[in-house]
Amino acid sequence: MKNTRVLLFGMMALMAFGSISFAEDTEGTEAYTLEALIEMAREKSQQDILNDFKIEFAQDDLDEAIEVAEFNAYSGGGRLETLFRMTKVHVDTFRAESALKLAQLQKEADEYLIVTEVHELVYDVKTMEMGVEAARTRLAQAKLSYEADEKRYELGIISLLDLNNSQNDYQTAQIDLMEAESDLRDATNQLKIKVGIDPSQPLELNVTVEQLPFNRTYSGDLAEGAIDKDRDLYSKYTDYFADKTLFELTDDAYEPFDKEYKIAYYDSEISRLAYEDAFSSFSTGLRGDFFNLDVLETRIKIQDLYLEIARKNDEIAGQKLALGMISEVERLGEEADYLEARQNRMQSIINYNMKVLELEEILID
């Protein structure tokens, strides 16, 4: 039976990972939504197939444990022997049920991992796109400034040092733009590879970065309710429950000074402490996550204020330019500040959204 399972699992691994190919080229450039990209990443991964086999194997183990339990229910023997046998069968069945639950949780975790990874990659692309836009504006500003300084130098208005500094600023802006464009290409290619699009093909995103809704507040009940959603915590809980059940049986059958009693007691205590420690860490971490989420939301509000200030300054700069009160170089500076303020606000929203996705994995049914 086990050899058959290994063979089947190996065959599925080859099926899942040995037939990866890029998506077919389409006419024109298709604008992909976030939902479409997530679905494409799932199809490319094919991790669901492997997880379904793991679940099927775990279900087979549970069915076998149930059959053993039914058989033992009608087996003979003394009262104590029957009690021990039935308790062990009960614990074995519980462990098999737990293994099935853990396999199901692993599938859910892998599915959610794809969701978070695609979100992160899409966010990277959107951030880099705005970074390129800001870098181009900074370059245009530096170019105009350098050209103006060349004329000033020829007229003897500024020194050679001032001209060199202006040239350095221009060259730095060129380098910044090249680096921003390189970062955008890298981020775009990573996203294409993740979802199965040929890196040589164009990619257009139909995605708007908006703050994800999240209306929960922290309470101790959230940690209790998440026991069967967090894999590590659930595993610790099942170990504790099984050892506790075995100790309760031993407590009825042996005296405290007996070896069997001591072994069962220590096993139960060790698993209890491991579970309580895991639960305490989980609860503390969850409380910290909610606090961090509040901090991240506050940062978005702060960036909203900065963005509004930058927007007004950019608008005023445009009006001043039209009236001849400022130069094009100064106006471009305000425009670049506005673009960078938009980029900073977007990054604040992204940081918030990623924390929301992390919490939703264990809190949302």
pLDDT in tens, 256-315: 777 777 888 888 899 999 999 999 998 898 999 999 999 999 999 999 999 999 999 999
3-state DSSP call for residue 293? helix
The mean pLDDT value of the chain amounts to 83
3-state DSSP call for residue 200? coil
* Predicted confidence (pLDDT) per residue in 220-236, tens digit: 778 887 777 788 888 88
Confidence check: pLDDT of 174 > 80: yes
Confidence check: pLDDT of 4 > 50: no
Q: What percent of the chain has pLDDT over 70?
A: 84
Query: DSSP secondary structure string, 67-82?
Result: HHHHHHTT----HHHH
Can you tell me the distance from the alpha carbon of 105 to that of 56, in angstroms, rounded to the nearest whole number?
14
Residue 78, phi then psi, degrees to nearest 5: -70, 175
Task: With CA atoms as reference, report the closest residue to 195 among 48, 44, 49, 46.
Answer: 44
Residue 23, phi then psi, degrees to nearest 5: -65, 150
Can you tell me the distance from the alpha carbon of 336 to that of 200, in angstroms, rounded to the nearest whole number?
31
Can you tell me the distance from the alpha carbon of 327 to that of 347, in angstroms, rounded to the nearest whole number?
31
**Hunting for tokens 């050892």 — which residue is that?**
243
Tokens read off for 224? 């209790």
Confidence check: pLDDT of 22 > 70: no
For the chain, domain boundaries? 226-365
Confidence check: pLDDT of 112 > 70: yes
Model pTM? 0.76
Can you tell me the distance from the alpha carbon of 148 to that of 102, in angstroms, rounded to the nearest whole number?
68
Query: DSSP secondary structure string, 199-226?
Result: TTS--EE-----PPP------HHHHHHT
Higher pLDDT, 34 or 258: 34
User: C-alpha dihedral over 188, 194, 197, 198, to 10 degrees?
Assistant: 80
Sign of CA dihedral 224, 225, 230, 231: positive
Confidence check: pLDDT of 25 > 50: no
Which pLDDT belongs to residue 44? 86
Tokens read off for 356? 């929301």
Tokens read off for 254? 């042996």
Q: Specify whether the CB–CB gap between 166 and 146 falls below 8 A.
A: yes
* Predicted confidence (pLDDT) per residue in 150-159, tens digit: 999 998 998 9
Which pLDDT belongs to residue 130? 92
Which pLDDT belongs to residue 243? 84
Q: Specify whether the CB–CB gap between 251 and 202 falls below 8 A.
A: no
